[in-house]
Structure 1
């Protein structure tokens, strides 16, 4: 799918901006987001173009985590995003199921869960061991550390002990990540 046709679904935007950052949206941040194309004073749109959403993430990093290294800002943003997504109607259902499944089955469902966030993501899963998987994405996100922290937060929500996500490959078009955690006896 051409990049200009790639869009994220409203629950992604709602999860972060209305729930994950609750109490942290300053008037200045609200105005900057509105100027970028996301008006929090109106009902959210069903879809947002990926370049617009990426710009919104940059704005949030600048406003909510000023002066912080980008990697740490994006990691904090990703953790807030997972928490916020869990507060949406769809997210509550997904996170409730994840808590029951355990980390292994959470990872096995990640391709399906991630496919439900936008109109373009395709993820393949490769099992390397009982607590070691690889996720191969058909896309690349510019926010340093964002995907790693997001996936770690999802693993933690599924009960993974010491989850660790490492980027293995990124050519700007596709990415691969290793997901590991400590296997419980």
Structure 2
């Protein structure tokens, strides 16, 4: 069965201590797990997708403008991948480059308004592995859409973090109980 890894929003604005909308220490503590997971998928020639939040400054039409401070603004350092993950993305070999993709997402789910489902289906992917932030927001909405599209789902609990510890724990249970996801 072909599988893909979705790295959700592991950027400076969501992870760094001075990030505009940081999950802080919980997100920083999963960096080595995200790197290890990403390297493993690259090594086995599985699809690796960096699904990264994209915003324009002061966009009056985007619903998140009223909910959160400005974050992941186009062209800013805040939108860059955090820590060692950035080096992996920037230094991938030419041979492995065809398995790695960056998608801009403008909603919580990596599927909303993107061609992600078409991309995965065209490559025969049946199982999606998800890591990143925030567990109970973007990871959750992406998992729900993956479920609704019929993908098998694996959530990597040691490679996910949230602003809200209670929301993180709730989402992990929801993945398993309501979406039938495998949580490891």
Q: What is the TM-score when the length of structure 2 is the normalising length? A: 0.32
Q: Which structure would you say has the larger Rg?
A: 1
Pick the structure with more helix per residue: 1
Q: What is the TM-score when the length of structure 1 is the normalising length? A: 0.32
> Larger relative contact order (C-alpha < 8 A, sep ≥ 6)?
2
